[in-house]
Structure 1
Amino acid sequence: MHPLHDYVAKQLADKLKDRRVVVWYDERGEFQPFVDEVRGGPRASGEPVAVSVGGASARLAEYAGSMFELRAVVEPHVSGDAPATVVVYMPNVARDRKASILMELEKAGTTWEPQLKQLAKNVLLQKYTLGVVDEMLPFDRKVSYEDLARAAAGNSGAEPPSILKSIFHDASGNDGLLAAWLVSDARDVEIVSKDATRELTKLVKARVGLDLQPDGALAKLRAITLRYVLAGEFRLDLSCDAPTSLDSVAKPASTDEESAVRDLAVRLRTGFPDAYAALADRAEEELGLKNAKLPPGALGAIDTFRFEERAILRHAGDLISNSKFSEALTLVAEREQSFWLDRDVSRKAQWEATRRMAELGNVAMEVRKAVNKTSGDAAAWLDAYVSKNGWFRLDQAQRRLEAWIANLDEEPEERPLGVVRRAHEDACHAMADGFTKALVKAGWTVPGALHQTRIWSEVVADKPKPVAYFLVDAMRYEMGVELSERLPKTSEVSVRAAVGALPSITPIGMAALQPGASASFSVVEQGGKLGARIDDSFLPDLASRKKFAAARVPKLADLALDELLSLQPSKLAKKLDGAQVVVVRSQEIDHAGETGFTFQARQVMDTVIDNLARAIRKLAAAGIEHAVVSADHGHLFFASDRDESMRTDAPGGDTVELHRRCWIGRGGATPPGCVRVAASSLGYASDLDLVFPAATGVFKAGGDLAFHHGGPSLQEMVIPVVTVRTKARESARPSAAPITASSLPDAVTNRIFSVTFTFGEKQMMLGATDIQVRPLLMASGKQVGAVGMVVDAQFDRATGCVKLEPNKPVTVAFLLSDESAASLRVVVQDPTTDAELYRSPTDIPVRLGV
């Protein structure tokens, strides 16, 4: 036989296998030659004859003028307990779908109404390109079964087999062939030498509807086709008139051709991403689109050209500049999965910055409206700040934005960034002003709230021993909430708010966290120094506080966060041996802010939260399951120093200490916009006075810090109290790590860089499902960076976890937060057990600025 016969026979055999009875309607009698081939000779009688169809045995019954006669001769073969396989061939008969005499046979089996040209086309496309096949099967000319059989068999008189298919032997289908030709001229010489240009132009015409001159140079034909395809996709995606620069480019004439243009453009992007980027950039330049004046909202959902991504991002910035934050968020969510962004981490980082700006603006507007409606005592303000969806989200959104921007090589556009920073400052100003007034009215108390001086007696002292007590300098409430979210799901975690002692500065706040503070606590001056007094002990500094705690708490161990993270498990166990209370101190946030390194402070804030979570898990592994995390004070943090209008002259008088947000001394004047309170009114046995800016202003205290604390704002006074129980777990490293990594950098030269991870690439894991992992950057036992963005996978920004699916590469963009690291490793952890699923084989040097 021949390929056409074999193909038709296979289609028929498949139907017989499924339903056993096939009623075959051949309205034009096109398949009579095929039936003759199957029968193997002339029709001898009206009885069904035994035949072989595609290797399957069947009975062939043929219509010869009487439906009733046909049904009568077929029924005996299909009505028994073991019905036969039967083909009922109906030449030159149209199917009657409502009153067919053969309806019972059709219902018992199935019907078939094939078109000869379509089946032949499927066969011919295995040897010829689409353009050649379309010429062989014109719509306006009848082609016989015999003609098509000869063409499929390659007999003389038919078109020769496709030369293009032999040249592009590794291409899949017509679109694959066209895409391979469009992205490279590597086979042009062969196309010309084998005289295949005409076949190529026929294929272009048949597939996308573009007429090309078969005698044209291939380079020119390629450029014309590329412009046609890319301009076509771009034009179809627009919701406005196309720019006049596209008038010279032909348009697809039918919906089928439009669909083909779209399909080919997608094939170019997905199959040849590197080549596509260069080709699209060149076409964009040739078509003059970079300077096209198009409404950004009309650019559609597909970024055919690079300029579209940039135009949309500018549009998002404009929306933010006009305080349309929700619209900007929606736009970013719709367009952030772009071909251009997936290939360029620096551009994706700009989109992430825009998303965070819009989020901050959105929250700032919500908070400002809520603040304007808030009345009542200081407790009502505290509740509004710390409730589940409370105002602390403003601080969280601001920190996330500023931490992100601090790691960008290029800041976002100035105008939208300025708008959201102003919206944040305005909301903070209104919050501080309202809360301070409520405090004054309430006699500087917050009814029902946990006071900082009671954290040791009411929280830490009641915990089973041993217990870890984390004292984190300048960790505000929202950071405590985020810490709780980054702890393992298996941990028992709770977060509550406490009100800090005034003034909200380190010597006072850290002393308030000491044992005995609930019974006796005052802020006093002694020997020209400001400090806290508990019983008869004066605590002006860290050394005095450490000595005091060691005397009050038997079996106490004291170490810095950095030391804890750096210690090997064996050395840590030795240091903690017999300890009932382990004090862990972190000064990273306050140190960076207070010493004027506000840029660094923005970078390290997220890292401190992650390292606290890591320290809690490390202590749990060492047998200390219980932990309490709190802070001496929070902070106000702005992107730049206070404007001159926000700076206030100091009160003067007998100044004991002057900070940006508080004055402590005796006498002097109370400047406008400030409030004064006697230390005795705060419950202190002292003759000191305290003066604070009422809102978010600062005293003229020198320096240019944007990082402030000391005053009575919610951000400065409200501190987190995080209680944790994390049971120790076995976390042995898997023997065959399921995570592989590619594109690891030879050196880290930018704060943001990407690595591609694949789950299950080197082994097929039967029944494998997706997994949640936590990718990190580690150096000397500390976390120095985390995931900032993820391409083509789910990413939980609160926990830093990424969802990996089996054998699907996922690109993760890391953000290096600690620039002091000389080298680092890329690590992937199981977030539940901390087991390492992957660790880069060698240290990667950090060479920022190279």
Structure 2
Amino acid sequence: MSFSSYLQDYLVQRLSEERGLMVFDPHRRYREICDALASRGVTVLDACGPTTESRDQIARAWLQIPHDGSLQLLVYRDRAAAVDEERLLDPLSSFSELMGVFPRPGAAHENYRSLAVQAYPELTEEVESLFAHGEPAVSVLDALGSGRTFPVLADITGFSSPRDIVIALLDSRSDLFTRVSASPAAAAELDALVSSVLGIPSGTASTPDALWRILLFSEFALARGESLPPAYRQVPHAPPSRAQAISRLNDRLRRDLVHDYLDRAETIAEELGLAALDDADLETEPAATFRFQNVQTLRRAVEAVSAGDPEAAAALVGAGRATIWAEHDALLSAAWYVVQQARDMIEALAAAPADEIGQDPVGWYRRRGLCVDRAYRALVFSHGRLPDEEPYGVDLTALLESLSNAYRVWIGRVQSALIGEVRRAGWPPDGTIRQDRIFERVVEPLLAEGKRVAYFLVDALRYELADSLAEKLKVGRTVSLEVGAALIPTKTPLGMAALGPENRAKLAVRIDGGGWKVFRGDQALATAADRDAWFLRYKGDQCVAETLAKWHKRKKGSPLPDTVSLAVIRSTEIDSAGENADALLRSSLENLMNELAAGVRKSFDLGFDAVVVTADHGFLYLPQRVAGDHVTLPPGNAVVRHDRFAFGSFEPAEQVLMLSGSQLGYEVNAESVIVPVSPGVFAHPGSYTHGGLSLQEALIPILTVQAAPAQRARAVAVSLRYRDRKEARVTSLNPAVTIAVGGEGKELDFDESWAGQRVEIQIVVVADDNTTEVGRVGPNEFLDTDTGHLRIRTGTTTTIPIVLDEEHRGRCTVRALNPNTQVEYDSITLDVSILDFGMES
């Protein structure tokens, strides 16, 4: 390949990424190369002439791009890019801001010399020699590329460049190497090619095994430099002068011969005993040659996160995840995602110091604090989906425990700051809607406007969960999220009763015989049935009250009677799952959030105009309760005691906050209610708790969703493959499946043009009966920790880890679904045949 051909390919690649490209060429060396792109379907505009004419031409072409998906625009200018004040004088500067620029400012790899090296990585020394005497003409570089030929190899492989010849010969799907070995002339040319281009001694790469070993070991050895042990220096490998050629050739192998590379690299590392070498002390960038190097980098990243060094962790995570191993090894892919989540967690902690809460705890939490709760929840969720908590001996459970302790410390500091502010200013905070005013302030105005309202009362939907839910409901709808302040104690009987209409009856708590009940006037609201009856008393036949499960069973097209203007939907699933805290954060929460989002969407299908979602309380999640979490009740008489609150009469004590009278917002036949000032508990310690006064327990969401004007449905297509096949046999419980999201296919609604937008995709893994689930998606960067769905931008092709059940054998189907309609985009069939417990072959 000539330099001109290489640069043409490079510019076409840039155009595929940016649609428009402005080339600045003050030396006019690229003029003919750019003009030649017209023959490849590129619209080439010459902007060297009068600027007014050029500007009009560019404007007309640019406006055609949204209407012509195949249009690629290249603008050629024989001048340098304007900088600073010069941009104000350049009439075309606005276009250079809209489209890509070549060469990119400050991009060393796009200067003339670097491009020449990239075009001829196997001729690095020759290229450097030419540039040592000034900048050669393009014609000189083109001549350099045609100066070394291998006619017999070219005839056998169909390629003329040394790099393409080597790639073709190493492809296990062909018999080219056998044909070369059978031809003395071809074998001689191959020996000359390897010797001259790669600097490898003659006669050392006469078989595919030998050539693979030299290429991969050379990259490994050259990266280690002087730290390579003496025993390995005798293994044949390329000299340092060929490092770039070796690296680029291996990059091509990793790109074009993925599965050959994976198999060969494992075999070579084992044969040479390379895994015994420790890269921990190397200062070089982590290498991607062998799997064990990626494992070592993973271990170093875990150490950096545990040491609280986000910058070092970020560098290691970035390098480790960008390798063929992280992409195609499901265990490593999942592990790297957990470490990424852990790094995000320490960054969130650093960005939300408790000493900045000041006199605005609500504002601080909405801006910063909820990010910590979300990051910790995402970390626990991702760790819970790991197929192995110690992949290749890297202990990720210890990492989770370390960050759980850091989270506990943060919660304690936040709690201390919050209680100090409540003691100063009281509860609820300014700017919040008190829980017993939500119906009056939010729901009733919507009803007064003549709108049909679905009112969702969700047990334990804490504010940060609703914040994530709001993002998912924005497509095709208008969404607003306000913050409410729960009544104390943050328990269901009080919170759910407070969310109903007042109906001219005051809220009261009556304590009798060690128990407590909530009343509106003389009406007890102790049970869900009692509270449903209260709504019906308020609205009569204009109201229905039912569970979320029943709401889901209502069919689209079978609307409720026209008289119904208010539907009250109750959900207790999150709180029920909280009794099993592992299930809450590790697996079931994703399903519960999906069900809730689907219930909201169902409301619009059933003819409702608006949805209001709120909660009785939130929750604290603190795994592994430790010594000191138990809070001693102060002297006095506790007539009711729960984990995070107590009613009664008590002496003041520093370990509790005492609330009474107007601070409560309801009448109670007890002197006061007390809550711990720490995240601790009076009784029954558990990971999942509520009842007290913390931001996580007492800030509740007021999420209002209304229908927006309908958007035109956009078409997307999703395809699944395993090693380029629709049906395949696998010998691992952790196969990596390729998913591609394109722009043509079954419909999914978007509020903007689909191009570059995220598509939500549900992955299910079912047995032959098509109902029994036998696996799930493993942790990865596209996994939404709230829903368990993938969110992938159109135009993306990537791999996702699948975690199959330990006991599953035989056939199973991996299906990609539209989560809203359950329409299938694509599916593949895997036949699981476990021969051993190693990685898939």
Aligned to 2:364: 384
Aligned to 1:78: none
Query: Residue 517 of structure 2: which of 523, 531, 546 is its match?
Result: 531
Query: Residue 416 of structure 2: which of 433, 436, 458 is its match?
Result: 433
Determine if the alignment matches structure 1 residue 717 to structure 2 residue 698.
yes
Bigger shift: residues 174-183 or 463-472:
174-183
User: 2:487 is aligned with what amino acid?
Assistant: A
Matches within 5 A, 1:160-199: 162=152, 164-165=153-154, 167-168=156-157, 173-182=161-170, 184=172, 190-195=179-184, 196-199=186-189
Determine if the alignment matches structure 1 residue 203 to structure 2 residue 193.
yes
**Offset, 1:189:** 5.1
**How far apart in 2 are the matches of 1:633 and 1:113?**
71
Bigger shift: residues 197-206 or 708-717:
197-206
- The superposition leaves residues 775-806 of structure 1 with CA deviations (integer Å, 9 ceiling, x where unpaired) of 1247999x999987668x9999999532122x
**Offset, 1:607:** 3.5
User: 1:757 is aligned with what amino acid?
Assistant: A
Matches within 5 A, 1:2-401: 122=146, 125=149, 128-129=150-151, 162=152, 164-165=153-154, 167-168=156-157, 173-182=161-170, 184=172, 190-195=179-184, 196-213=186-203, 218=206, 221-238=207-224, 241-253=227-239, 255=241, 257-295=242-280, 298-300=283-285, 302-367=287-352, 369=353, 371-376=354-359, 380-386=360-366, 389-401=367-379
SS of aligned partner of 2:483: strand
Determine if the alignment matches structure 1 residue 551 to structure 2 residue 537.
yes
User: 2:577 is aligned with what amino acid?
Assistant: A
* TM-score normalised by the chain length of structure 2: 0.70
**Offset, 1:225:** 3.0
- The superposition leaves residues 152-209 of structure 1 with CA deviations (integer Å, 9 ceiling, x where unpaired) of xxxxxxxxxx2x455545x674333323444549556544444343333222213212
Change (3 A) 1:578 1:212: farther
- The superposition leaves residues 254-299 of structure 1 with CA deviations (integer Å, 9 ceiling, x where unpaired) of 74x3333223212221121111112112222334321213236634
**How far apart in 1 are the matches of 2:814 and 2:182?**
54
Are the aligned partners of 2:816 and 2:826 in contact in 1 as well (CA < 8 Å)?
yes
Are the aligned partners of 1:558 and 1:582 in contact in 2 as well (CA < 8 Å)?
yes
**Offset, 1:692:** 1.7
**How far apart in 2 are the matches of 1:845 and 1:474?**
41
**Offset, 1:603:** 2.0
- The superposition leaves residues 314-357 of structure 1 with CA deviations (integer Å, 9 ceiling, x where unpaired) of 11111111111343134323432211111023211111111111
Change (3 A) 1:768 1:534: closer
User: 1:293 is aligned with what amino acid?
Assistant: D
Change (3 A) 1:598 1:492: same
**How far apart in 2 are the matches of 1:794 and 1:638?**
24
Query: How high is the sequence identity, in percent, across the aligned residues?
Result: 24
Aligned to 2:400: 417
Matches within 5 A, 1:477-496: 477-496=463-482
Aligned to 1:698: 681
Which segments of 5 or more consecutive residues in structure 2 lack a partner in the other structure? 1-30, 37-135, 390-394, 747-752, 806-811
**Offset, 1:628:** 0.9
**Paired residue total:** 672
Change (3 A) 1:773 1:680: closer
Query: Residue 686 of structure 1: which of 649, 653, 668 is its match?
Result: 668
- The superposition leaves residues 547-574 of structure 1 with CA deviations (integer Å, 9 ceiling, x where unpaired) of 111111231122322333344313xx34
**How far apart in 2 are the matches of 1:441 and 1:775?**
48
Change (3 A) 1:685 1:622: closer
Are the aligned partners of 2:581 and 2:687 in contact in 1 as well (CA < 8 Å)?
no
**Offset, 1:443:** 4.3
**How far apart in 1 are the matches of 2:616 and 2:832?**
33
SS of aligned partner of 1:462: helix
User: 2:468 is aligned with what amino acid?
Assistant: E
Query: Residue 466 of structure 1: which of 429, 432, 452 is its match?
Result: 452
User: 2:739 is aligned with what amino acid?
Assistant: T
Are the aligned partners of 1:452 and 1:512 in contact in 2 as well (CA < 8 Å)?
yes
Aligned to 1:500: 486
User: 1:706 is aligned with what amino acid?
Assistant: S
**Offset, 1:399:** 1.2
SS of aligned partner of 1:270: helix
**How far apart in 2 are the matches of 1:512 and 1:718?**
14
Change (3 A) 1:243 1:610: farther
**Offset, 1:583:** 1.5
**How far apart in 2 are the matches of 1:843 and 1:575?**
42
Bigger shift: residues 495-504 or 751-760:
751-760
Change (3 A) 1:537 1:762: closer
SS of aligned partner of 2:759: strand
Determine if the alignment matches structure 1 residue 563 to structure 2 residue 530.
no
**Offset, 1:662:** 1.6
**Offset, 1:451:** 0.3
Change (3 A) 1:775 1:191: same
User: 2:362 is aligned with what amino acid?
Assistant: L
User: 1:722 is aligned with what amino acid?
Assistant: L
Determine if the alignment matches structure 1 residue 811 to structure 2 residue 789.
no
Are the aligned partners of 1:636 and 1:707 in contact in 2 as well (CA < 8 Å)?
yes
Are the aligned partners of 1:505 and 1:632 in contact in 2 as well (CA < 8 Å)?
yes
**How far apart in 1 are the matches of 2:824 and 2:604?**
22
**How far apart in 2 are the matches of 1:321 and 1:470?**
41
Are the aligned partners of 2:452 and 2:610 in contact in 1 as well (CA < 8 Å)?
yes
Are the aligned partners of 1:392 and 1:478 in contact in 2 as well (CA < 8 Å)?
yes
SS of aligned partner of 2:667: coil
Change (3 A) 1:124 1:334: closer
**How far apart in 2 are the matches of 1:816 and 1:720?**
36
Determine if the alignment matches structure 1 residue 614 to structure 2 residue 591.
no
User: 1:548 is aligned with what amino acid?
Assistant: W
Are the aligned partners of 1:524 and 1:532 in contact in 2 as well (CA < 8 Å)?
yes
Which segments of 5 or more consecutive residues in structure 1 lack a partner in the other structure? 1-13, 20-110, 130-161, 818-822
Are the aligned partners of 1:733 and 1:836 in contact in 2 as well (CA < 8 Å)?
no
SS of aligned partner of 2:457: strand
Change (3 A) 1:112 1:492: closer
Bigger shift: residues 619-628 or 232-241:
232-241
Aligned to 1:516: 502
* TM-score normalised by the chain length of structure 1: 0.69
SS of aligned partner of 2:294: helix
Aligned to 1:674: 656
- The superposition leaves residues 660-695 of structure 1 with CA deviations (integer Å, 9 ceiling, x where unpaired) of 21223x357777723343467524322224232211
Change (3 A) 1:826 1:729: farther
SS of aligned partner of 1:690: strand
Are the aligned partners of 1:482 and 1:609 in contact in 2 as well (CA < 8 Å)?
no
